[in-house]
Amino acid sequence: MLTSINPKLPMRDKEITKKYYYNLGFEQLGSKEYDGYLMIKKEDIEIHFFEFKALDPKENYGQVYIRTDNIDAIYNFCLERHIKIHPNAPLEIKPWDVKEFALLDPDNNLLTFGQTL
């Protein structure tokens, strides 16, 4: 009966979050804006954000794992748009036979992209 999962992550500034994720190719979900809340979508991936102005990014451990069938294209897309790759998570094949890389958004939410080999 379950059909999908949509993570909710904290954000300090809606406009900064929108700009970052729009640069990743996401777009607003729906036509209505909500004060202090953001919903974005890219293909079948949907992420929600709630406003948390007092968030200390150094204490934020929000994480999302996004599966893909073309990790190289997503990685190159990020490089072309000058999106900073997490220094401890470059594109590499992991021991669990998944090719992965990760990003940190402006609020320190970790986005890991992975493709099963």
The string of pLDDT tens digits covering residues 61-117 is 999 999 999 999 999 999 999 999 999 999 999 999 999 999 999 999 999 999 999
* Res. 53: pLDDT tops 90: yes
- pLDDT of amino acid 106: 97
Gap between the Cα atoms of 60 and 107, Å rounded: 7
Is residue 113 within 8 Å of 77, Cβ to Cβ?
no
Name the more confident of 32 and 60: 60
Under the banding of pLDDT at 50, 70 and 90, the label for residue 30 is confident
Q: Residue 114, by phi and psi: left (phi above 0), alpha (psi -120 to 50) or beta?
A: beta
